[in-house]
A = this chain, B = another copy of it.
Amino acid sequence: MTAMPDLAAIEARDAADPLRHMRDRFVLPQGVIYLDGNSLGAAPKEAFAELDKAAKEEWAQGLIRSWNHAGWFDLALQLGDKVGRLIGAGPGETVVCDTTSTNIYKALQAALSMRPGRSVIVAEGDSFPTDLYMAEGVASTRPDVKIRLEGVDADNIEDLIDDSVAVVLVNHVNYKSGILRDMAALTAKAHAAGALIVWDLCHTAGALPVELNAANADMAVGCTYKYLNGGPGAPAFIYAARRHHEQIRQPLSGWWGHARPFAFTQGYEPGAGITRFLCGTQPVLSLRALKGSLDVWDEVDLNALRKKSIELTELFIELVEATCGEFGVKLEGTRDPNRRGSQVSFSHENAYEIMQALIDRGVIGDFRAPNVMRFGFTPLYVGYRDVWEAVATLRDILATGAWQDTRFAVRAAVT
Please report A residues at the B interface, Cβ cutoff 8 Å: 27-29, 32, 34, 36, 39-40, 42-43, 47-48, 51, 54-56, 58-68, 72-73, 98-102, 105, 109, 112-113, 125, 128-130, 132-134, 136-138, 140-142, 149, 152, 176, 223, 225, 231-236, 249-256, 258, 261-268, 279-287, 289, 359, 364, 366, 368-369, 412-415
- 17 A-B contacts (beta carbon < 8 Å): A27-B56, A27-B60, A39-B64, A43-B59, A47-B55, A68-B413, A68-B414, A101-B255, A105-B252, A109-B141, A136-B268, A137-B253, A141-B142, A233-B282, A233-B283, A233-B284, A235-B283
Q: Once bound together, how far apart are the Cα atoms of A415 and B67, in whole Å?
A: 8
A230 to chain B, nearest CB (A): 9
Query: Could you say which of A40, A223, A234 has the most chain B C-beta atoms within 10 Å of its C-beta?
Result: A40
State A368–B281 Cα separation when bound (angstroms). 18
Query: A234 to B281, alpha carbons, bound, how many Å?
Result: 8
Q: Are A60 and B264 in contact (CB under 8 A)?
A: no
A279-B102 contact in complex given A59-B231, A65-B359, C-beta closer than 8 Å:
yes
- Interface contact B233-A133, CB-CB below 8 Å: no
Q: With the chains together, A267 CA to B262 CA distance in Å?
A: 40
Residues on B with beta carbons closer than 8 Å to the beta carbon of A413:
67-68, 73, 261-262
Number of copies of chain A assembled together: 2
- A54 to B34 Cα, complex, angstroms: 19
* Central interface residue in A65, A73, A101, A225, by most chain B CB within 10 Å: A101
| B283 x A414 contact (CB < 8 A) | no
The 4 closest A-B pairs by CB, nearest first: A99-B280, A101-B254, A101-B280, A283-B286
